[in-house]
Amino acid sequence: MSSIVGNTHVLRANLPGTREEDCYSWNYESIDEIKTELAAQEYLQSLIRRHRFDIDTLVEVPPGVESLAWLYEHMRQICVELGYYLSTLHGECTELGCSVMRASETTYYCAGHGRPRPCSAMGYSVHTLDYAVRQLGSAASFPDRRHVLDSEIKHFQSMARRLYRVFAHAYFHHREVFERQEATTGLYARFVRLARKYELTPESLIIVPELPTTI
């Protein structure tokens, strides 16, 4: 992708042979610079690269973007990052050690089997993430990602409640992995801030003790 900034032609692309540490070496100062239908997604990803731990900046709705459309982009991005999160957790969270999904002492049934039934914690996490991704990509649930209706908030609430359990399981049963991931990504802090800002889950269900980044 390329654009004109002032009188300068700017190329924004990861060219073949680009080293990983040099990928995405461009930033957007304004969402208005992005002239594509995925402007909100590209702008959010740019913000995360620059301000990963500045949650206030990340959740602030940019000019020209609807509030629920911004939440939609955040939820899509959280699912992308949670996929990497689970790949890291996979070595610690085994079917033998975590044969059922628990957060603290509460056991959760998995809805990814037609009828809810017990499932390993990793199985539950993968099924839940798959459900969220399919929901976000469903034209029936979200016909227009740039104009999300108030009535569609129920979809966010359902997926947020289930996704929260993945973080809670990591915190209570794989604390070292949780803390290492949070120090690197700040993903849980971002997720909880959005859940509170948009009232996606009751406060009583937020059971991980407050972190400096989530207060």
Which residue numbers belong to the known binding site for Zn(2+)?
Answer: 93, 98, 169, 174
The DSSP secondary-structure symbol of 48 reads: H
- Among 87, 10, 81, residue whose Cα is nearest residue 48: 81
Look at phi and psi of residue 2 and say left if phi exceeds 0, alpha if psi is from -120 to 50, else beta.
Answer: beta
Task: List, as residue ranges, the binding site.
Answer: 93, 98, 169, 174
Buried-state track 98-112, b at ≥16 Cβ within 10 A, e below 16: beebbbeeeebebbb
The DSSP secondary-structure symbol of 32 reads: G
Residue spans of alpha helices (H) in the chain: 39-51, 55-59, 67-89, 121-136, 153-173, 175-185, 187-197
